[in-house]
Each structure stands twice: as C-alpha cells, then as structure tokens.
C-alpha cells in the first residue's frame, strides 16, 4: 500500500509516524512545500522575543530521523493538483520547477494554513511582516533587535497578535494594537475575560485601537505610519496578525466538501467526503464534542491528535476521534487565560437553554506570598446543570484550572459535582475551597 501525505509539519508527521508503527509494510511518502518538517510555529513569538535562542528547539523531528523510521520525505515539493478518480497527484519540485505525477492508494491532506493578508494599501513597504513560518521568525527576530525600530504596530488582536505584544514589550518596544472588532480575542473569550486582558495590556503601556479599521500604511521605502479610518499612528515596523486561511486552493476541482473559508470537512475518522482521502490540521475542520456542525479551530493540539487517529486509519483501523473542546490558552504579559468547551457567545448561537456564573476569588491563601485574583466563568445547562464551557483568567495557575474544566466537561460533570470535586489543597497552591469549587457551588 502506497500512502501519500501532503504536508509534513504537525498533523502530517503525526499521521506518518503512527502509520509507520501500525503498518510497517506500508510505503509512506510525504511531500512538504517548506525546507523542513515537524515545525512548532506556536514557539515563533517567543523566539522573536528572545525567550529562547536556539530555533532548532521548535523542530520535533528532522528529515533524517523520518527517513530512518522508513518515511520518505520530499522537501520543497508542492502538490499543485489532486485527481481523485485516478488516485494521482501532480507535484512541482520547487528547486528545479519540474512537475511530475505520483500515484497513491490512500491520501492524507495536511497542508496547514497561511496568514491572511488583508486589503490594506501599501503592504509592500519594508518592515511589514507576518509570523507564520520559520523564515518569518528569523526576519522578525532580527528586525526586533534593531535599535532604530522603536514603535511596533500589530494589526490583529488574536493569539499571535497578543503573543507578539509580549515579544515586543520584552525587547523594550512601544506597542500599538489595531483590532477591527470592539474587543480583543472576541472569537475565543467572553467579554468578562477580555476586559481583564485589555486592562493588563493598557497597564503595561500598550495602545489599543479597538473598533479600528486599518485602511493603509504610509512611508517611502519602509513603513512609517498605520492609517485607520479615524487616525494615523507612527510606527517603525508592522506585524500582520489578522488570522489564517486553509491552504486548500489546489483542491477546488476535486469535489472535496469544504467550508466557505476553504477548510476541508472531515468526519470522526478524519476522512473527507471522498473515500480514501483523509485530512487533519489547520487545513481541515475538526469534529466538536458539543456541536453537531464542523468546526474550524486551528490548534496544534487537535492537529496532532487527529493526525494520530488518521495515521491509525490509514493503516487499516477505523478509530474514532470523539471530538475537540477547543481548549486553548494565552499568556498576555503577566496575565494568563484559558477557555474550554462552549463560550457564552456560542451557546447563544446554538439556541441553548443555559446559565452562567462568574466569580472572582484568589489563587491561594492570603498568608502565602504571591496571592492574586483568579476569575472563573462557567456556562452550564439551565436544567441539568451539566457544564458546557469554562473560562479562567488570572496571573497564576489560570490555565491549569482550565484543564480541570476540560476534564469536567468531557466527563459531563454538573456544577454541583464541580463544587464538591476533591481538588488538591496546600497554602501555596489554593484555598481549602478552590476557585473552581466556589464557581460550582455558586451556580444555581
């Protein structure tokens, strides 16, 4: 059996490694457009900010290691066409521009996503960057160390945008953030949480331009200002962080079902609408544990988990991915926030009969140094009290408490059960009634 995997970054390599273990006889070939595989792009903002210096730490596996494991890796090879009827692909060797055809018995698409380039005038000016690839990271890291670059403008206030804020502030830059919507991270967190994140950013001197549409950039050779509908802000460097779009344009003629944004729709086996073709990662949807409709949630965690499932199924199994909860987290300067399950916004869109509770407590006892506020929001079924979603924000241990909520939602726990859940207690870690216990007990 010949299995071709298009893309070898996260989901693709996870699938290839698992397939090799479950079916050692299968021929496994990866075509990867980049000059590397197994790259953890989540580390890029921290590499740029100098939190670590060795970029090789972002690579989980080398092409040599993959070859040793029996996986054929073709770097700098772009698949430009898929013919599902003949089970063939057309590949361009980016080093010599030659195009050739290869055939498969089973196919996996793991082509990831690319940075969205918004319709802003003069994006071709110098000192305007995205942060998606290793090449982007090297360039931006060098520019951020230029003492002549003092003012950094970030267009987009999602995960990458706010992580770049931390990188820039660590390097002593003045930072301005431009967000089209009325608050940061609107699609991820509810307003109670984003209010706290925004306050943390402003306290650190970050200028937030919310409800602000960027229409153009100004400068001669390099950017000197960001122009919105209402103001002009001087900058020395711009980072575009306006989201990502699935790399699936080459599949338009295949008949594979996709969302309007181009994300490939897959089932719980990781299979697309065409038999024998699988997909996972940032180019595809992911089944959701609490929703009946396909969800586009481009996270490294889901990519690796689904990649593993697909690898097993490429090897002949029929293993089922139960679904994601969209669990995700962020460190915004000294504040951390996590969410899992449904947000209140999602519960409203789904027409659910739900209730919420929001409490602010402390991370541990008052007599142990370092006590900080810790806020918890629960979204739960109004009748059964089963927890549907949770968000936690604070300076210490907010994210790890979010992980507890993820386990609680997975287990279909009620707020009453969370209120009495036997969580660890010691003065440096919590109070006798943890903030999660309190949130559960307050829920009516």
Active site residues: 42
Strand boundaries in 363-412, DSSP class E: 373-381, 387-394
Counting DSSP H helices and E strands in the chain, the numbers are: 11, 23
Half-sphere exposure of 69 (CA within 13 A, CB side): 22
Distances 362 to 148, 193, 365, 389, 441 between C-alpha atoms, Å: 42, 16, 7, 21, 16
Look up tokens 């890029």; give the residue.
44
The SS3 call for residue 304 is helix
Distance CA 105, CA 209 (A): 52
Rg for the chain, CA atoms, rounded: 23
DSSP, res 295: B
The answer to whether the beta carbons of residues 34 and 59 sit under 8 Å apart is no
Distances 316 to 10, 19, 256 between C-alpha atoms, Å: 21, 9, 22
CB atoms inside a 10 Å sphere around CB 103: 12
Interior/surface letters 1-29, b for 16+ CB within 10 angstroms, e for the rest: eebbbbbbbbbbbbbbbbbbeebeebebb
The answer to whether the beta carbons of residues 56 and 227 sit under 8 Å apart is no
- The pair of structure tokens assigned to 256 is 């594979």
């Amino acid at each position: 059996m010949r299995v071709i995997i298009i893309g070898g970054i996260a989901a693709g390599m996870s699938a290839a490694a698992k397939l090799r273990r479950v079916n050692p006889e299968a021929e496994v070939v990866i075509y990867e457009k980049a000059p590397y595989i197994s790259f953890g792009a989540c580390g890029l903002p921290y590499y740029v900010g100098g939190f670590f210096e060795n970029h090789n730490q972002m690579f989980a596996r080398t092409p040599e290691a993959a070859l040793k494991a029996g996986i054929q890796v073709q770097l700098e090879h772009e698949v430009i066409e898929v013919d599902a009827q003949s089970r063939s692909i057309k590949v361009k060797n980016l080093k010599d521009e030659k195009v050739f055809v290869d055939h498969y018995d089973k196919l996996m698409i793991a082509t990831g996503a690319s940075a969205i380039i918004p319709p802003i005038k003069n994006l071709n000016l110098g000192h305007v960057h995205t942060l998606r690839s290793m090449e982007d990271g090297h360039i931006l890291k060098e520019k951020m160390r230029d003492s002549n670059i003092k003012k950094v403008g970030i267009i987009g206030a999602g995960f990458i945008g706010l992580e770049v804020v931390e990188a820039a502030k660590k390097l002593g830059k003045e930072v301005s953030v431009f967000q089209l919507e009325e608050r940061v991270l609107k699609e991820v967190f509810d307003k109670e949480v984003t209010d706290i994140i925004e306050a943390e950013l402003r306290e650190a001197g970050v200028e937030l331009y919310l409800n602000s549409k960027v229409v153009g950039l100004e400068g001669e050779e390099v950017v000197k200002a960001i122009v919105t509908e209402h103001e002009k802000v001087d900058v020395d460097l711009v980072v575009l962080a306006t989201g990502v779009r699935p790399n699936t344009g080459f599949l338009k003629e295949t008949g594979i079902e996709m969302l309007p944004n181009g994300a490939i729709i897959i089932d719980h086996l990781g299979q697309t609408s065409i038999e024998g073709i699988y997909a996972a990662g940032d180019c595809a949807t992911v089944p959701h544990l609490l929703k009946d409709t396909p969800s586009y949630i481009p996270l490294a965690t889901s990519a690796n988990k689904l990649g593993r499932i697909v690898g097993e199924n490429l090897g002949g199994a029929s293993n089922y991915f139960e679904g994601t909860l969209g669990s995700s987290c962020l460190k915004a300067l000294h504040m951390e926030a996590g969410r899992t399950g449904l947000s209140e916004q999602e519960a409203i869109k789904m027409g659910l009969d739900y209730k919420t509770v929001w409490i602010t407590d402390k991370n541990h006892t008052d007599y142990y140094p370092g006590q900080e506020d810790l806020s918890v929001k629960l979204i739960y079924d109004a009748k059964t009290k089963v927890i549907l979603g949770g968000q936690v924000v604070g300076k210490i241990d907010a994210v790890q408490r979010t992980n507890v909520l993820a386990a609680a939602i997975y287990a279909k726990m009620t707020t009453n059960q969370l209120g009495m859940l036997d969580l660890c207690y010691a003065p440096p870690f919590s109070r006798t009634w943890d903030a999660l216990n309190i949130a559960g007990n307050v829920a009516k």
